[in-house]
Amino acid sequence: MKNQKKSISQYSFNKGKFLPQEEKLEVGEKKKQLIIGVPRDKTLYENRVALAPHAVELLVSNGNNVIVESKAGEGAHFDDITYSEAGAVIVDNIAEVFMSDVVVKVAPFTDDEINLMHSNQIVISSLNAANDDKNYIKKLISKKVTAFAFEYIKDAENCYPIVCSMSEISGTTSILIAAEYLSNVNNGKGEMLGGIAGVSPSDVVIIGAGKAGEFAAKTALALGATVKVFDTSISSLRKLQSDLGKSVFTSILQPKVLLKAMKTADVAIGALFSITGGKQFIVTEDIIKEMKRGSVIVDISIDHGGCFETSKVTNHKNSVFTKYGIVHYCVPNIPSRVARTASYALSNIFGYILLDISESGGVKQVIKNNLGLRNGVYLFNGILTKQEMGEKFNLPSRDIELLLAAF
């Protein structure tokens, strides 16, 4: 793999084509010129791409090189020509993508992709803490890579920008999905979500007052629905009500109050989850039985265990099932349903993270200086840096602060 990596460095990158080294134009010295690889995500129903063409253009214009596997942006309707015009090199062989200094994608890496990795490489993807396994981590450790889980990355405000961005999309889209399954087109009970003059508005119950819940509430209110939001945190409820106004009913999760709300709900949204994958409050099966027939559940948090006891994972092809007369939509990656929008949102964050690595002179320097990015690291040169993961999988881990001091 070292020889392969060396061979790719014999070429320079210009306007989407390989050029011999002797034809390379003189350019100003950069702190760290990166070769960034974007593989085509072959995970089933994953349509997003980590870098949209505008992010590629940003990185290339700042002296970096980007290799994109052919059709990597197909699911989000970005074609190879657009990437090439942005300055990317388009390749058919995924092995060439993995010769890069940095590889960035959306879904967790597959076994075949891990086999193509090389030591000292930087890899960025989702980790999905609720579903990862020990063998996956051990394989990455064996490759001695530095790995970022994008759901752990924080910004200057101590928030999780990628999680928040995807939650905004999931929250907004969940209401639009519910509206679809209330309609006759999808064999629903034939109601328009919201209401019109002379017709009672729909009742929407949202479990969770975080970013996904907030945007679900905003969208439901905009459509004219009555919105009730439940959460375990009074401070989250207070903030949501402050932002959205008194028209939103808010309550701490109390079984009797929740049962009363669910009995009249036309739509229930599950948006209470944690990035650590901990088990969340579950709306019991007995409560589901009390709901009106034809009502719709959209469980955004299904990839973290779900909010509803009757939930089970579905996919974009077979999205729903019905239990007790209630339609359940439990697709784990809702943002992939609107892949172009989601890819733009991801690129707005990834582009500047990669630029920061480049301008800082490398990954060691950037994670020394940037606490938010450091929080995203779970492997540093093949050493596990998350104590909770070490305890979960019975693997040795080291504090990243000590590792940085040693390197």
Query: What pLDDT sits at residue 4?
Result: 38
Query: What pLDDT sits at residue 17?
Result: 41
3-state SS class at 281: coil
Alpha carbon distance 153, 212 (integer Å): 18
Alpha carbon distance 300, 135 (integer Å): 27
**Residue 304 pLDDT level (bands cut at 50, 70, 90):** confident
Positive/negative CA dihedral, 44, 50, 54, 60 = negative
**Residue 279 pLDDT level (bands cut at 50, 70, 90):** low
Same-domain check for residues 7 and 74: yes
Query: What pLDDT sits at residue 129?
Result: 57
Alpha carbon distance 53, 62 (integer Å): 14
User: What is the residue range of 324's domain?
Assistant: 163-330
Q: Which of the two residues, 18 and 259, has the higher pLDDT score?
A: 259
- End residue of a domain, out of 304, 330, 356: 330
Same-domain check for residues 346 and 283: no
Alpha carbon distance 261, 264 (integer Å): 6
Alpha carbon distance 362, 358 (integer Å): 6
Edge-first strand listing for the sheet containing 226-231: 249-252, 226-231, 203-207, 267-270, 296-299, 326-329, 320-323
- Residues in CB range of 405: below 8 A, 6 or more apart: none
Which DSSP letter does residue 283 get?
B
Q: Residues 271-292: what's their mean pLDDT? A: 78
Same-domain check for residues 137 and 30: yes
Model confidence at 22: pLDDT above 90:
no
Count how many Cα atoms sit within 13 Å of the Cα of residue 134 in the half-sphere of its side chain. 7
- Which helix (H) or strand (E) segment holds residue 229: the answer is strand 226-231
Neighbours of 16 (CB within 10 A): 19
Select the highest-mean-pLDDT range: 3-12, 17-26, 60-69, 183-192: 60-69
Query: What pLDDT sits at residue 281?
Result: 63
Neighbours of 27 (CB within 10 A): 9
Q: Residues 179-196: what's their mean pLDDT? A: 92
Same-domain check for residues 150 and 176: no
Q: Which of the two residues, 14 and 133, has the higher pLDDT score?
A: 133
In DSSP terms, 327 is beta-bridged to 296, 322
Q: Is 261 exposed, middle or buried (0-12, 13-18, 19+ CB in 10 A)?
A: buried
Same-domain check for residues 106 and 192: no
Query: What pLDDT sits at residue 132?
Result: 63
For the chain, the average pLDDT equals 89
Same-domain check for residues 358 and 374: yes
- End residue of a domain, out of 330, 359, 393: 330
- End residue of a domain, out of 300, 330, 360: 330
The pair of structure tokens assigned to 102 is 């940095």
Among the ranges given (48-52, 87-91, 139-143, 183-187), the one the predictor scored with the smallest mean pLDDT: 183-187
CATH of residue 247's domain is: 3.40.50.720
Alpha carbon distance 146, 144 (integer Å): 7
Same-domain check for residues 145 and 13: yes
Same-domain check for residues 227 and 280: yes
Same-domain check for residues 144 and 180: no
Query: What pLDDT sits at residue 145?
Result: 97
Q: Residues 123-151: what's their mean pLDDT? A: 88
Same-domain check for residues 170 and 153: no
Question: pLDDT tens-digit profile of 351-371?
Answer: 999 999 999 999 999 999 899
Model confidence at 2: pLDDT above 50:
no
Structural domains in the chain (count): 2
3-state SS class at 328: strand
Positive/negative CA dihedral, 108, 112, 113, 118 = positive
Q: Residues 339-350: what's their mean pLDDT? A: 97
Query: What pLDDT sits at residue 131?
Result: 58
Q: Is 284 exposed, middle or buried (0-12, 13-18, 19+ CB in 10 A)?
A: middle
**Residue 157 pLDDT level (bands cut at 50, 70, 90):** confident
Q: Tell me which residue of 164, 144, 162, 145 sits closest to 153, measured CA to CA.
A: 162
Alpha carbon distance 395, 284 (integer Å): 36
Which DSSP letter does residue 158 get?
S
Q: Residues 221-236: what's their mean pLDDT? A: 96
The percentage of the chain sitting over the pLDDT mark of 70, rounded to a whole number, equals 89
- Residues in CB range of 139: below 8 A, 6 or more apart: 111, 114
Query: What pLDDT sits at residue 20?
Result: 37
Question: pLDDT tens-digit profile of 39-65?
Answer: 999 998 999 999 999 999 999 999 999
Using an 8 Å Cβ cutoff, are 272 and 298 in contact? no
Query: What pLDDT sits at residue 96?
Result: 97
Give the distance from CA 338 to its chain's centroid: 12
**Residue 14 pLDDT level (bands cut at 50, 70, 90):** very low
Query: What pLDDT sits at residue 274?
Result: 55
Using an 8 Å Cβ cutoff, are 380 and 399 in contact? no
Same-domain check for residues 140 and 200: no
Q: Residues 259-277: what's their mean pLDDT? A: 85
Neighbours of 177 (CB within 10 A): 23
Among the ranges given (36-40, 328-332, 397-401), the one the predictor scored with the smallest mean pLDDT: 397-401
Burial call 234-257: b when 16+ CB within 10 Å, e when fewer:
eebbeebbeebeeebebeeeeeee
**Residue 345 pLDDT level (bands cut at 50, 70, 90):** very high
Using an 8 Å Cβ cutoff, are 271 and 213 in contact? yes
Same-domain check for residues 298 and 253: yes
Q: Which of the two residues, 45 and 276, has the higher pLDDT score?
A: 45
Model confidence at 406: pLDDT above 90:
no
Model confidence at 301: pLDDT above 60:
yes
